[in-house]
Amino acid sequence: MRKQRSTAAGLKAKALGLGIGGIILFFLIWEAAPRLGLVSDRYLPPASEVLARLGEYLTEAAFWNDVADTMMSWALGLAIATVAAIVVGLIIGSSRFLRRATHTTIEFLRPIPSVALIPLAVLIFGTSIESTLLLVVYASFWQVLLQLLYGIADVDAVANDTAKSYGLGRLARVRYVIWPTALPYLMTGLRLAAAVALILAITAELIIGTPGLGKQIALTQAGGAISSMYALVLATGMIGVLINLAARIIEKRVLSWHPSVRGEVVL
Enumerate binding residues for another protein (CB under 8 A). 14-15, 18-23, 25-26, 39, 43-44, 100-105, 107-120, 122-124, 195, 198-199, 202-203, 206-207, 214, 217-218, 221, 226, 229-230, 232-233, 236-241, 243-244
Shortest separation between residue 155's beta carbon and another protein, angstroms: 14
Collect all residues with Cβ–Cβ distance below 8 Å to 197 and sequence separation of at least 6.
Answer: 74, 77, 78, 81, 136, 139, 140
- What phi and psi, each to the nearest 5 degrees, are found at residue 172? -65, -35
**Residue 7 or residue 105: which is nearer to another protein going by CB?**
105
Determine the 3-state secondary structure of 194 from DSSP.
helix
* Amino acid at residue number 24: I
**Residue 182 or residue 198: which is nearer to another protein going by CB?**
198
Rounded CA-CA distance 11/237 in Å is: 28
Other beta carbons less than 10 A from residue 134's beta carbon: 20
194 in Cβ contact with 122 (< 8 Å):
no
Shortest separation between residue 81's beta carbon and another protein, angstroms: 16
**Residue 26 or residue 64: which is nearer to another protein going by CB?**
26
**Residue 109 or residue 172: which is nearer to another protein going by CB?**
109
Contacts 24+ apart (CB under 8 A), 106-113: 106/142, 106/145, 106/146, 106/149, 109/142, 110/142, 110/146
Shortest separation between residue 112's beta carbon and another protein, angstroms: 4
Shortest separation between residue 27's beta carbon and another protein, angstroms: 10
Rounded CA-CA distance 13/48 in Å is: 27
* Amino acid at residue number 89: G
Shortest separation between residue 111's beta carbon and another protein, angstroms: 3
**Residue 37 or residue 167: which is nearer to another protein going by CB?**
37
Shortest separation between residue 171's beta carbon and another protein, angstroms: 26
Determine the 3-state secondary structure of 258 from DSSP.
coil
**Residue 44 or residue 174: which is nearer to another protein going by CB?**
44
